Amino acid sequence: MKPGAKLGPYEVLSLIGEGGMGEVWKARDTRLDRVVAIKRLKGQHGARFQQEARAIAALNHPNICQIYDIGPDYLVLEYVDGQPLRGPMPDPLRVALQIVSALEAAHAKGILHRDLKPGNILMAGNAAKLLDFGLAKLTADGDATQTLGVSGTPLYMSPEQAEGKALDARSDVFSFGAVLYEVLSGHRAFDSLAAVLRDEPKPLTSPLADIVRRCLAKKPADRFQSVADLKIALERTAVTPAEEHPSIAVLPFANMSGDKEQEYFSDGLAEEIINALMHVPGLKVTARTSAFSFKGKDTKVAQIAQELGVEHVLEGSVRKSGNRIRVTAQLIKALDGFHLWSERYDRELSDIFAVQDEVSGAITAALKTKLSGETEGRRHYIPAVAAYEAYLKGIHFLWKPRTRENRERPREYLEEAIKLDPRFASPYAALAMHYHIAASVFMDPREAVPRGRESARKALEIDPCLPEANAWLGIFAIVYDLDWQEGGRRFQLAMASQPIAPLIRHWYGYFYLRPLGRAREAVEEHRLALEEDPLNLVMRVGLATSLREAGRHQDASAEARKIIELDPDYFPGFTLQAFDFTWEPLELALAFAERGHILSPWFTPGIGLLAGLLVRAGDQTRAQEVLKKLGDGERSEAGCAFAIYHLLCGEIEQAVDWAEKAIRRHEAMVTMLLLPTPWGPLLRRSPRWPQVARMMNLPEKAE
């Protein structure tokens, strides 16, 4: 063609681009008097031409080049007056979100792009336009599709695409990672097809580096499993930019008092310093559970820092004698062991709060954070020292495993703290947690829950912004009242407080998002929580269960194995593996259930799980012996246990009977166990499921 030529009602103006497959011309639509782009393909690419027309016609998105018309051998497209994408860019996150939004729209229609690269993304002002769907593949309901040979641009195609294997959405995720790498650095992630298959790109120094790294994982299972998951991660970065900030772990302070009973005080002091530092803008602080996991171990500072992913470690000691304390603290740079700061404080016990503030302030100054060294959340209320000591004792026992001997010790100390200082809000919130644990393990929920709810409400009367209190009211509303609306409202209030504590993220994902079928969002909350508390096994259980609910069974099983590696005596790791009985060989699932039951004979649902797996293995005699431990069904969580047992036996209606009993008895495990995978989908097979869903007050989209 030449300028001035006519294609139907279109007048050709100038050549825009050409390649082996055809040409692209700028033209004018003489009917509507508008500029368009005409793409004319060579004859041997006719099938591809028809495929591209169908793909683009199925899409309507502001970041996707639109199709206007189709001729016998050409496409008429929206003319985009822009330049191909080039890095580095001043606002990469905005551009990344636009591209991902376009891909999400395509994938929602079952369309894979398969040739995502900077040359196929035009920047028109501040807007990115995704074009050239010539290699797009229409899939059946988004399932993987087999490529017809190797097609695409080698330096941006995924490893599986390069090898001619079946593709799904994760292939476009990889290509997007290569594009984003170039947007951030100005350089290609890979310089050859061999590098795509074999090598890792040079590390990036960017807040988006972790997202790029995960997109470019060689194995599809290690990437974001959908563009929707990728978009959530990018949006989280937009809300809380992950700039390079100092990071620190506060280890439990050594108790130098010569009295093991004083351990609560040294632990409590370290925890309070953690809480103070979490409010310092620009400082990343490892949460208590992970930092305290090294207690009593002879682990070198460098190794601790490496496992927790931090640059600095604070360690110290406390000597308490009567009304006098001596606190020593030293801030260590893990890379070289250099002491950035150290100090000793000899004070009266009544000065303990001033010591905490001085330590956190000194650390802030030593790390020279970019923002103000003043904490945003300075202590608004200073409790009586005796009340504070009682509170620290309560927290100390609250985190310990419950035995018959120490079941009530947290309550006793927390109530003592309240008696000594009724205006101290934190003991009330901690009491709410105590009563939730009690309701799940050794106390009738109908007695424990009202007490826990009242404690949380009292905490909010004293401190209306206390996020833990709102979170516990949300948990009580969901787990025991099945009031999803109130639960969601309370969690919104809890999540509105900045910074968001890792445990609150975990509770939000585990108790609210996951049971409602929002597993992808739950996975992201658990991941964010684990960034601050990477060795927290409770949070890892939350991540594993949400991964399973999201259909990522292999990832869930891998996470369960990691839990077992971190602590071979932590029973949920084994129970989670046994839950994957449809994926694990039955013998292996049974072995996991056996081990879990040995470690936690009090965990009633584990009894039902073990008995049911024994039935599936053909050992009816032993199954009935195990089942006898549930007695007449009046034990805590027995309704859920019997429901699990009957589901494993294939007795769906008997399982529904017990599920209804569990709901009426307000058992805590109903929403945690009987809604998600694997038990929820089995219960849904019953014709009585709509009745059960109504009993649970489930929103329609979650049924």
154 and 199: one domain? yes
**Span 196-255, pLDDT tens digits:** 998 888 877 777 888 999 999 999 988 999 998 898 888 877 654 444 567 888 888 888
Q: Which of 243-257, 476-490, 543-557 has the lowest mean pLDDT?
A: 243-257
For residue 204, the Cα-to-chain-centroid distance in whole angstroms is 23
231 and 110: one domain? yes
pLDDT at 133: 64
DSSP letter string, 367-422: HT-SS-SS-TT--S----HHHHHHHHHHHHHHTSPP-TTTTTHHHHHHHHHHHH-T
> What CATH number does the domain containing 433 carry?
1.25.40.10
> What CATH number does the domain containing 284 carry?
3.40.50.10610
Q: Identify whether 591 is part of a domain.
A: no
71 and 87: one domain? no
Indicate the angle between helix axes 385-398 and 352-367, nearest 10 degrees: 70
pTM beyond cutoff 0.75: no
Structure-token pair, residue 359: 């330590």
179 and 286: one domain? no
95 and 217: one domain? yes
Q: 405 burial class (0-12, 13-18, 19+ CB within 10 angstroms)?
A: exposed
Coil vs helix vs strand at 264: helix
Q: Are 606 and 600 in contact (CB under 8 A)?
A: yes
Last residue of a domain, one of 33, 57, 78: 78
**Total domain count for the chain?**
4
- Tell me which residue of 245, 235, 134, 121 sits closest to 175, measured CA to CA: 121
24 and 90: one domain? no
pLDDT at 454: 93
Q: Are 66 and 124 in contact (CB under 8 A)?
A: no
pLDDT at 21: 61
pLDDT at 372: 39
Structure-token pair, residue 164: 């001619």
Q: Could you give the CA distance from residue 163 to residue 167 in angstroms, rounded to a whole number?
A: 10
Q: Could you give the CA distance from residue 82 to residue 95 in angstroms, rounded to a whole number?
A: 14
131 and 231: one domain? yes
Structure-token pair, residue 1: 């063609």
Q: Could you give the CA distance from residue 512 to residue 510 in angstroms, rounded to a whole number?
A: 6
Q: Identify whether 461 is part of a domain.
A: yes
Last residue of a domain, one of 315, 345, 379: 379
Question: Could you say which of 29, 115, 229, 533 is catalytic?
Answer: 115
449 and 393: one domain? yes
SS3 content of the chain, % helix, strand, coil (to 5): 50, 15, 35
Q: Identify whether 228 is part of a domain.
A: yes
Q: Identify whether 511 is part of a domain.
A: no
Q: Could you give the CA distance from residue 432 to residue 104 in angstroms, rounded to a whole number?
A: 41
115 carries an active-site annotation: yes
Q: Identify whether 515 is part of a domain.
A: no
101 and 194: one domain? yes
Q: Could you give the CA distance from residue 168 to residue 221 in angstroms, rounded to a whole number?
A: 11
**Span 552-588, pLDDT tens digits:** 877 888 888 888 888 888 888 888 888 877 666 888 8
Q: Identify whether 259 is part of a domain.
A: yes
192 and 307: one domain? no
Residue numbers of the domain that contains 145: 83-239
Structure-token pair, residue 527: 């991941």
Q: What is the mean pLDDT of residues 460-472?
A: 87
> Residue 118: pLDDT above 80?
yes
Give the largest Cα separation in the chain, rounded. 98
Last residue of a domain, one of 379, 401, 432: 379
